[in-house]
Amino acid sequence: MSCILIAEDDAEIAMLERDYLEIEGFETELVEDGEQAAAAALTGRCDLILLDLMLPGCDGYEVCRRIRDRVDVPILMVTARTESVDKIRGLGLGADDYIAKPFDPAELVARVKAHLSRYARLTGGGEGSPAQEVITIGDVEIFPRSWKVCKGGRELKMPNREFTLLKFLAENPNIVFSKEQLFEKIWGYDYVGDSATVTVHIGRIREKIEDDPTHPKIIETVWGAGYRLNR
Please check whether residues 65 and 98 belong to one and the same domain.
yes
Say which residue, 122 or 145, is predicted with more confidence: 145
Q: How far is CA 5 from the centre of its chain?
A: 16
Structurally, the chain folds into a number of domains equal to 2
Predicted structure pTM score: 0.61
- % pLDDT > 90, the chain: 46
Average pLDDT score over residue span 36-54: 91
Give the burial class of 122: count Cβ atoms within 10 A of its Cβ; 0-12 exposed, 13-18 middle, 19 or more buried: middle
Q: pLDDT, tens digit, for every residue of 189-206?
A: 555 556 788 899 999 999
Q: pLDDT, tens digit, for every residue of 131-172?
A: 447 889 999 999 887 788 999 989 998 888 899 999 999 999
Give pLDDT, residue 87: 63
The boundaries of the domain holding residue 52 are 3-124
CATH number of the CATH domain containing 47? 3.40.50.2300
| For helices 105-124 and 11-23, angle between their N-to-C axes, nearest 10 degrees | 60
Give, for 75, the enclosing helix (H) or strand (E). strand 75-79
